[in-house]
Structure 1
Amino acid sequence: MLRKFLMNYFEKMPQYTRFFASEMVLAQNPSTDNKVLLNSYRDLGIIHLLSISGLHVSLYVLGITWLGTVIKRTEEEVTILCVTFLVIEILLSNFQAGFVRASLSYFWGVFFKRKKIMVSSGDKLGIVVLTHLLFNPLLFLSSGAILSYLLVFGLEISKDFKKIRQNFALNLLITPILLHNFYRINFLTVIYNFLIVPIFNFILLPLTFIVIFLFWCLPAIVMLSEPIFKGLADLTNFIADKQLGLVTFGQINWLQTIFLLVVTVFLIILPKHKIQKLKLRSIIVGAYVSIFCLIHFPLKGQISFIDVGQGDSILITTPLHRKTYLIDTGGKLNFGKKKSEPQLNRITIPFLYAQGIDHLDGVFFKSSGCRSYW
């Protein structure tokens, strides 16, 4: 009921204010109006900012603790309030994996502190994983959950690294998962994070929650927030449109993913042995180059019939110096009054990206009425 109420509450807000409010509280954004902005965050490698997780748990706990200090509440009362708030937010976020993980980590931290049990951060992470799996055995079938836990694991094994080196290590660690699920990677992600994360943390996030709390009694506040949100969204879209550092690598299979993950972990955790690290770096570089060449310079051509639901879509590629041709792109299904995203965006383009294709040498339409373009 509360989640439904908030969904209706956010619907009254302007486009960009609604977008950030829905993402930050409900971990969802069903509107297709902001698809471009979501893709921009993904292309820049900063989509994690829109995923409520450890950062939000820390901010919530910090805010509640500060409030408890101001009104002179006991530590136990503040802890109970924090736990209650996090449980409610878990329900509101529809059990979003990253937020549940961070909340479980806080719950176990409180438990160990009260029982005066000394537990290392690595052991606590293991307990959190087991607890999460107990409630959701299918947890790691979700790419979001895999990325969330992999990042925390990466932070744990690289905690002695300097900040910049750690960022590079974390990006290298999650790259196989990104390529398996999203097919594209941005080599400038570290730079984009340094540029955009401070703006997000110190402007977007606080402003979002201020608007959420005040909108019901002061609707005019969106006159202030919407231009700021829109300006930052336009800036993000502008940077993403340049596609600097963005490479359409193609999809790697699970065996390749696991192999690259294992080698990367060994590269991070091995002691400072130059020869071993040099060998591992050579293996990683060689593996990525080999996989890239196999995807982009295939030994065989192929004809692929793409399941677009309505109509036909056929991809034809030639071997080696690959040429790509697409016959039709599929229609657009509209049942009832609900707007639906074209199959071109939902099916055809992701399929092309999975093949490592970011441009076509030719597009052929069987009817003049087709209005889809690549």
Structure 2
Amino acid sequence: MRALFFAAIACGLLSSWLVDQQWLAAGLLLIWLLRVIRLRDRQCLMVTIGCVLSLAIWLNWQNHRFASIVQQPSQVVTSHLAVQPDAITVRGGQYQLIATSPMGKVLVRGQLKSATEKQYLTQFTHRTIWHVQGEVAAIAPPTNPGQFNAPRYYRSQGIARQVTVTAVQRIEIAPQRGWLVLLDRLHQWRQQFFLACQRLPPTLSRYATSLLVGIRPTDFQTTMGAVQQLGLLHWFSLSGMHVILLVKFLQWVLLRLHLSQQAIDIWLLGLLPAYLVLGGGADSLRRAVVTAALPIIWQLLTHQSSGALGGWSLALIMGIAHNPLVLSQLGGQLSYGLALLLILMPGLPPWRLAIWIQVISLPVLLVATAQWHLWSLAVNLVVAPIFSWVLLPVTVVGASIGFGSTNVTSVCEWVLVNFQNGLEWVSHWPGLLIIGQPSTLWAWTLSLLSLWLLRTPRRRYYWGLLLAYACFSLSLRFPLHGAVQFIDVGQGDSILIRQPFNRQVSLIDTGGQLHFSRPRWQAEQVQPRSRAETITVNYLHRLGITHLDTVYLSHKDVDHIGD
């Protein structure tokens, strides 16, 4: 299993180099390969070189394919799209689909024409075939640093183009044949569960869809802000803990049915892929399912137990082959990184494990959010047992028998609302630090120092890591040179002016959007946030800026000062 581990780390560095264009990863890959050579282990060297060469060919082909697709000019097409019911999202007067077409997997956007059409789309429970006409083009990249990178996100799902629908000719139920019948049924059950949860109280509904089938409602970002601020988002992403609890529960049930261990293993191998589909197939869930299934397969084939490290290594190699960007995304980084930490440091007291989780994940969180809450460590320690023993069981009970019992639903809702209120209360305590977003070099430096500290926990290395964070923060907050930066906020203007060392930080205009009256059915369930909040503030936080000395408003037009 040591050979697989060295091969997995090499593959991770290779993907960061070839896919994410991080040249520092190329140097680290060379160092890692020299380390493998110095082991003088022929099997380890052969496995590592074989995996690296095979994956390099695959990743280069993937890069070339996506680059050629993106460079194709936009064109008007008439096509048919296969759409699963749980791949339809409706917001306000617009809809979005993830569909399979003759062009491959595509993102589909369109405008709703009436309230009846909106109601019609939200009630689909079967796979459908859409015959549409629209414009096919590459997915637009972000226009500001730190903004949501749609092309990268959708590429991780195998999507390179989007279809903007101009006319829907007809929609029909897809015929069911072959092995697709089972897959369609799983997607159907997932969508039916989501629709059923809409009849539950709001908090219970939100927890049930997020924790049980991996669907986050449209109001998740606004109603669960405390979860993200306190660093608890990983608890609400289907991953290892959910799979472990599911496997233990299934083993308990199957043992009570007096099945043999071999029969139990076969049942688990059949149910784990089904749960992967029901849970939405996220990278973190895929990693957990593969890690849980591989030891079972190895046991059935060889009658020998395999270590968790071997399962993790194979899961990483398979995860990169399936999604070359898995280690470029926050979910994949935290899922694989924290799972490896649990494997390499078993038996640690919960408080020490929580500290190491914070130390290892902090550089990753700063790249993604540019902030960290001082109370996140304490809150994670408290939430860990509550989540396993209270929140998840309450959610399961409320989403299973709550439909037929108002009293059960009310009790479950009361528990979850009070927990949510507690998180909101703690999130308003002083302690939210806007640190800034590290550059690629700083992110690698802080991550490697954290890993070195984990390997050699000595006092001088603690101080070295703190000094590195202090240098990074000072270099970001007090730049040697001034800058004039234009923030893309749409039609209007927003210009940031910074003097050297940030002695004076000024903003000219804020941008803004004109709002026109719309029919009530087109109103969104959640009031959209302004671009100043979603774009400008994030842009400033990425630079470590928390205070503006001056804001200049050029004139009173909405597109200049509306936000």
Same fold (TM over 0.5): yes
Q: Identity of aligned pairs, percent?
A: 23
Q: Distance in 2 between matches of 1:257 and 1:12?
A: 44
Deviations 1:109-160 (A, max 9, x none): 1112222234333232211211222333332232210111111122233336
Task: Report the more deviating stretch, 160-169 or 226-235.
Answer: 160-169
The residue that corresponds to 2:204 in the other structure is 17
Residues 1:361 and 2:513 aligned together:
no
**1:328–1:229 distance in 2 versus 1, CA, 3 Å:** farther
Residues 1:179 and 2:360 aligned together:
no
2:268 corresponds, among 79, 82, 107, to 82
The residue that corresponds to 2:469 in the other structure is 288
Q: Distance in 2 between matches of 1:312 and 1:368?
A: 11
Task: Report the more deviating stretch, 191-200 or 161-170.
Answer: 161-170
**1:162–1:227 distance in 2 versus 1, CA, 3 Å:** closer
Deviations 1:324-352 (A, max 9, x none): 33333333577972534432332222212
Larger Rg: 2
Task: Judge conservation of contact 2:437–2:544 (CA < 8 Å) in 1.
Answer: yes
Q: How does 1:232-251 map to 2 (within 5 A)?
A: 232-244=419-431, 246-251=432-437
Deviations 1:6-36 (A, max 9, x none): 222222222211211121023232322x424
Task: Judge conservation of contact 2:372–2:435 (CA < 8 Å) in 1.
Answer: yes
Task: Judge conservation of contact 2:200–2:403 (CA < 8 Å) in 1.
Answer: no
Deviation at 1:252, TM superposition (A): 0.1
Task: Judge conservation of contact 1:157–1:269 (CA < 8 Å) in 2.
Answer: no
Q: How does 1:107-118 map to 2 (within 5 A)?
A: 107-114=293-300, 115-118=302-305
Q: Distance in 2 between matches of 1:345 and 1:249?
A: 18
Q: Distance in 1 between matches of 2:412 and 2:318?
A: 39
Q: Distance in 2 between matches of 1:7 and 1:106?
A: 26
**1:163–1:223 distance in 2 versus 1, CA, 3 Å:** closer
For the residue of structure 2 that corresponds to 1:320, the secondary structure is: helix
Q: Distance in 1 between matches of 2:395 and 2:409?
A: 10
Matched residue type, 2:382: L
Task: Compute the RMSD of aligned alpha carbons.
Answer: 2.5
For the residue of structure 2 that corresponds to 1:326, the secondary structure is: strand
For the residue of structure 1 that corresponds to 2:534, the secondary structure is: helix
**1:262–1:303 distance in 2 versus 1, CA, 3 Å:** same
1:202 corresponds, among 389, 392, 398, to 389
Matched residue type, 1:367: K
Q: Distance in 2 between matches of 1:78 and 1:334?
A: 59
1:344 corresponds, among 532, 537, 551, to 532
The residue that corresponds to 1:30 in the other structure is 217
For the residue of structure 2 that corresponds to 1:64, the secondary structure is: helix
Deviation at 1:57, TM superposition (A): 0.8
Residues 1:152 and 2:339 aligned together:
yes
Matched residue type, 1:360: L
Task: Report the more deviating stretch, 145-154 or 116-125.
Answer: 116-125
Taking structure 1 as the reference length, what is the TM-score of the superposition? 0.88
Asked which structure has the greater RCO (Cα within 8 Å, sep 6+), the reply is: 1
Task: Judge conservation of contact 1:324–1:361 (CA < 8 Å) in 2.
Answer: yes
Deviations 1:64-86 (A, max 9, x none): 12222333333334333333332
Deviation at 1:368, TM superposition (A): 7.2
Q: Which has the higher strand share?
A: 2
Structure 1 residue ranges (4+ consecutive) displaced by more than 6 angstroms after TM superposition: 333-336
Task: Judge conservation of contact 1:296–1:322 (CA < 8 Å) in 2.
Answer: no
Task: Judge conservation of contact 2:291–2:308 (CA < 8 Å) in 1.
Answer: no
Q: How does 1:183-332 map to 2 (within 5 A)?
A: 183-218=370-405, 221-244=408-431, 246-270=432-456, 277-320=458-501, 322-332=503-513
Show structure 1 runs of 5+ residues with no match: none
Q: Which has the higher helix share?
A: 1
Residues 1:139 and 2:363 aligned together:
no
For the residue of structure 1 that corresponds to 2:404, the secondary structure is: coil
